Amino acid sequence: MNPAKPGETPRTPWIVGVSGASGTPYAASVLRALLDAGESVDLVVSRASRLTLLDETGISFRDAHWREDLREWLGRGADGKPGAFAPDVSGVRYWPAGDLGAGPSSGSYPNKGMLIVPASTACVAGVALGLSKDLLQRAASVTLKERRPLVVAVRETPLNGQTLRHLVALDDAGASVVPASPGFYAGAIHIQDLVDFVAGRVLDAAGVAHRLYRRWNGELGGANADR
């Protein structure tokens, strides 16, 4: 990518890693909200997540056609129906998971931080142990060492002791652990509302402004009054 010209604002993206856990609608909601907020995104899709995406949406995510596949993916609602959204993916740069020479693999690569959504227990373990077996894990390790924000949206239940210890290790290292656990006080009516709540909490942890869910205002029954 060409460096910024004099007077131009350099591109400083959020890195979004999608691991193999169930919950690709969470990733889609986060990506749409980042782009709607005018943020640039560097996307890393793990090999395992491609299988999950295929199973949950029927979409094959292909390196050579990633723009078309990403546009189709982000266009679907959480219920799987196509055409629910009209995403503009021009702000996205895609890096194959096997490219360990990619920009996000280096601490000198400018970015705002990283969001892993959804995060599988295998991904959590790899990042906590510093394995860096693929670009997703490597980028997360770099994010931690550079003291940039790392948000890990773990999506699994129940959690065993080993995974809980890995999550504590990530918290100790400075990461924000955000379980994919939707709240109901926001007045959810559709499945998209529940997905957007989790995505909104991920973005809250990263400090990115959004309007994905109704915030608590201290009034009981407020969500019902807005329906």
- For 126, what's the count of Cα atoms within 13 Å in the CB-facing half-sphere? 21
Q: What is the structure's pLDDT at 226?
A: 63
- For 171, what's the count of Cα atoms within 13 Å in the CB-facing half-sphere? 11
Mean pLDDT computed over 54-69: 97
Q: Which of 207, 144, 200 shows the shortest CA–CA distance to 173? A: 144
| For residue 158, cis peptide bond before it (omega within 30 degrees of 0) | yes
Q: What is the structure's pLDDT at 7?
A: 63
Q: What is the pTM of this model?
A: 0.93
Taking the CA atoms of residue 182, residue 185, residue 190 and residue 192 in that order, the dihedral angle to the nearest 10 degrees is: -40
Q: Which of 164, 148, 133 shows the shortest CA–CA distance to 42? A: 148
Q: How far apart are CA 105 and CA 137, in angstroms?
A: 9
Percent of the chain with pLDDT over 70: 94
Q: What is the structure's pLDDT at 224?
A: 66
Q: What is the structure's pLDDT at 5?
A: 61
What are the DSSP calls for 159-212, one per residue?
PPHHHHHHHHHHHHTTPEE------STT---SHHHHHHHHHHHHHHHHT----S
Condensed to tens digits (0 to 9), the pLDDT of residues 123-154 reads 999 999 999 999 999 999 999 999 999 999 99
Q: Which of 177, 196, 180 shows the shortest CA–CA distance to 188? A: 196
Q: How far apart are CA 198 and CA 20, in angstroms?
A: 17
Condensed to tens digits (0 to 9), the pLDDT of residues 73-123 reads 999 999 999 999 999 999 999 999 999 999 999 999 999 999 999 999 999
What are the DSSP calls for 62-115, one per residue?
-GGGHHHHHHHHHHS-TT--TTS-----TTEEEEETT-TTSGGGSTTS--SEEE
Q: What is the mean pLDDT of the chain?
A: 94
Q: Which residues pair with 115 in a beta bridge?
A: 16, 151
